[in-house]
Chains A and B, each alone.
Chain A
Amino acid sequence: MNGLHGIIFSYEKEPGLRELIEHRMPASIPFGGRYRIIDFMLSNMQNAGITDVGIVLHGNYQSLLDHVGNGKTWDMSRKYGGLRILPPFADNRKYGGDGFRGKMEALAGVRSYLEQIRQDYVVLADSDLIINIDLDEVYDAHIASGADITCVCTANYKKTEDATFCVLGEDNKVAKTLINPKKPEGYHCLEIYILSKELLLRLVDECEAEDKFSFRRDVLNAMGDKLDIRAYVFGGLAAQIRTVKEYYDRSMDMLQPRVYRELSTAARPIRAKEDDETPTYIAPDSTCVNSLIADGCEIAGDVENCVVFPGVKVAKGATVKNSVLFKGVTVEENAVVSYVIADKGVTIRRGGKLAGHESYPMAISKGSTI
């Protein structure tokens, strides 16, 4: 058994995601043609041999619950351990009335769960991160370095709302932590942390006693002198999704074969809930290029530079470019669509014209007819 336990946070509201979070948490936003964002972290954990994972929740999480179910998709439907959903007030009513102010507060809210963790080490991660990372390797690095806390950082910063940065000193020791700085400095912190269960419990208690709630401010930054905090520098692709623009840009990145291959490497597959769709049919006169197309679609029009989710219909004569079409979107005859993110079940009527701009993609709410 792997000595790591997973905790995934899904409580941040991220207002920059606008229409995309009207009916869901950022964790369950569809991404990459068949995934939900949380699938990446759950699969990373599964691929590292982690069997026990808790998801700390707050907000409109119904869609997330529907998606993760009993955890079967990630082989986490187990007799002992497995996937555990940790809703607010799971433990006591002290925290969570208006949402959590930070990770340490969210953890204090599930303290009795933390006590029962069977493993000696815990990996904390957010649910808004697109990444395919070997967490087992991060764990090994943590043990080898003897650090108190290891945080995963990257040198490849992509513009992200409310980003955290770590300035590194000798031996990758974190010298300084910057929270949402005007000017990025050092490495972009991906907010994946590994530490021992014992230290985690101690930190939760210490922070609680002083009404401190932020991991990055009250632990990473404030305890830099007392604790050995080191960075694991990750060289692959990673992106936090916190605004519609970030969502759109990262979706379009998926159309680069290099990105597509890295995120879907057969060695560490990303698993998504089975959709039971039939294969996709591409009609004789359609042109379908540079696009990701999920199952169950019927493509009769022209599709270029798009990410297309299951069950989408693009009728003859319709043109869709540079767009993301969620599950069950219908684009009727001769409609012209570009720079659009169409949420689940959107219908774009015959002859309709809809255009956002590369700098401001248009997000259309779930179920709308245009």
Chain B
Amino acid sequence: MKKECIAMLLAGGQGSRLYVLTENMAKPAVPFGGKFRIIDFPLSNCTNAGIDTVGVLTQYRPLELNSYIGSGQPWDLDRDDGGVHILPPYQSATGASWYKGTANAIYQNIGFVDMYDPEYVVVLSGDHIYKMDYSDMVAAHKKAGAACTIAVMEVPWSEASRFGIMSVDGEDNITEFAEKPKEPKSNLASMGIYVFTWSKMREFLIADENNPDSENDFGKNIIPAMLGAGEKMIAYRFAGYWKDVGTLDSLWDANMDMLATGSGLNLFEREWPIYGRSTSAPPAFLGKNSATHHSVVTRGCVVEGAAENSVLSENSVIEEGAEVQYSILMPGAVVKAGAKVAYAVIGEDVVIGENAKIGSIPDGAEGWGITVVGPETKVPDNYELKANHMLSKTMKEVVR
């Protein structure tokens, strides 16, 4: 059935800069904020914005992500007409190919989009933490009569060279686009969120596919091609909380932002809820001697020890005498008695042995950084993992 607007969510990336955390799962499936996964943010934004049809483009290690999304019921996206669809690469009569780039992923699914014959397509990534009303952005796109609208936010000038930067005229028409410019002409950074008029997008996707020199990427190829062709492209300014959690440091930061009222990441307000598939664990249990301060806890947590400035996910356990500071315990992580964890990201189902010492408080020394333990690692008793080190399931220890 015809839809005015559908969303395509790019969730195929490996997220190699999350290292051990994405060894066995795609980045959008990485746990966030105690009981969410990164992909809950764009999916919840879609359902809250009234977009009931979402294609999720998967490629790298899709098992975890597929089973997490399931029928889409937690996001109210289990629909007879529309709903959430997982779109992996597929084989066709003329051969099979992986998704070569973000634009190619959508090119290969033109048939899926055509099925809904939409006026507009919202293109999203699966690695951002933010709350945004896409329907407002689509309205701005319609009003301007644009072929493409790109969400942008002002970033400090000093950081502008890390982003895709848009130059605009007085009416926020995009005049120039530069990917990670050395000398930025503007401080409006692309958030990787696009609204396209489907008929236009379709044309440019086909032309791009026919260009053998193209990398088939939205930022590198489609956007410059559309600008070059003189299409109307506008910037949509966004001022709320938004963070790309593509690196270990930014993932840790964004989790800590949950605890900081000034950060702008408010998951408590009920106007724009974030949904997730959650487990059926009982409420958190804080024991007789627990000392939990400035932290978030959730179902299934058992805290007998101390937690400070930390995010404790579903079914994580801190035994008596253990201390966790400025850290993230992902679902099912267990910190045994007497162990100390500081400034660390502890992966899913990790066990930190008794009296082990993981990470340390910043001491100003050269080479300090967040410590990371990969999913399912069993850290032996008394083990010491220094700051800025990373340990994987196979007990391979590396400096980040």
Contacts and interface: CB of A to CB of B under 8 A. Distances in A.
B283 A293 contact: yes
Nearest to A264: B282
A289 B297 contact: no
Contact of A279 (B35, B273, B275): B35
Interface stretch (B119-127, B225-233, B285-293): B285-293
Q: Give the size category of B's interface with A.
A: 20 to 34
A280 interface: yes
Interface in B20-40: 33-35
A255 B285 CA distance: 8
B395 interface: no
Contacts of B291: 287
Nearest to A293: B284
Contacts of A282: 292-297
Interface in B263-314: 267-268, 273-275, 278, 280-299, 311-312
A289 B34 contact: no
Contacts of B278: 274
Contact of B299 (A34, A255, A276, A308): A34
B259 interface: yes
A289 B268 contact: no
B74 interface: yes
Given A292-B284, A292-B285, A283 B268 contact: no
Nearest to B300: A264
A255 B284 CA distance: 11
Interface stretch (A265-273, A330-338, A342-350, A360-368): A265-273
A295 B293 contact: no
A88 interface: no
A305 to B, nearest CB: 9
A113 interface: no
B36 to A, nearest CB: 8
B285 A281 contact: no
Nearest to A305: B288
A257 B74 CA distance: 31
A294 B299 contact: yes
Interface in B112-157: none
Contact of B282 (A263, A278, A285, A286): A263
A34 B34 CA distance: 17
B74 A264 contact: no
Given A34-B299, A274-B74, A279-B298, A292 B282 contact: yes
Contact of B268 (A257, A281, A290): A281
Interface in A238-290: 255, 257, 260, 263-264, 269-272, 274, 276, 278-290
Closest A-B pairs by Cβ, 4 of them: A33-B283, A279-B34, A279-B298, A264-B282
10 contacts: A33-B283, A269-B280, A274-B74, A276-B273, A278-B34, A281-B295, A286-B293, A289-B287, A293-B285, A294-B299
Given A289-B287, A296-B268, 6 more contacts: A270-B282, A274-B278, A279-B35, A283-B294, A293-B285, A293-B286
